[in-house]
């Protein structure tokens, strides 16, 4: 989800660059396409970071839940 939100500007620039070709009103705006390409190259490491944080968090949660469910709790000491 976060990667999609982060990629929205790249998608917007790309669509704005090719819009004249889609509507058949003019030439492709190469400046916008170059900007979208540069933004995409900047976005790649950010997407990898977001993906790595998500994978680490979800694996940690699964591990901690598994440990809590399988290891018996120590008995309460009697006073």
Judge whether 62 lies within some domain. yes
Instruction: Kindly state whether residue 20 falls inside one of the protein's structural domains.
Output: yes
**Higher local confidence (pLDDT), 5 or 38:** 38
Residues 13-66 have pLDDT tens digits of: 888 888 888 888 888 888 989 999 999 999 999 889 988 999 999 999 999 999
Instruction: Give the mean model confidence (pLDDT) for residues 64-74.
Output: 85
pLDDT reading at 7 higher than 90? no
Is 79 part of any domain? no
Q: Above 90 in pLDDT, residue 76?
A: no
Q: Which pLDDT score is estimated for 47?
A: 87
For 47, the domain range is 2-68
Q: Two tokens at 31?
A: 């400046």
- Quickly tell me which residue has 């669509």 as its tokens: 15
Determine, yes or no, domain membership for 63. Answer: yes
**pLDDT for res 72:** 75
Count of domains forming the chain: 1
CA distance to 13, 26, 44, 64, 67, per residue, from 7 (Å): 10, 26, 9, 32, 37
């Amino acid at each position: 989800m976060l990667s999609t939100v982060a990629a929205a500007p790249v998608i917007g620039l790309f669509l704005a660059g090719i819009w004249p070709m889609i509507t058949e009103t003019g030439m492709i705006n190469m400046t916008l396409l170059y900007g979208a390409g540069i933004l995409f190259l900047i976005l790649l490491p950010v997407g990898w970071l977001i993906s790595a944080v998500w994978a680490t968090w979800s694996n940690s949660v699964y591990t901690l839940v598994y440990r809590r469910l399988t290891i018996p709790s120590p008995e309460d000491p009697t006073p």
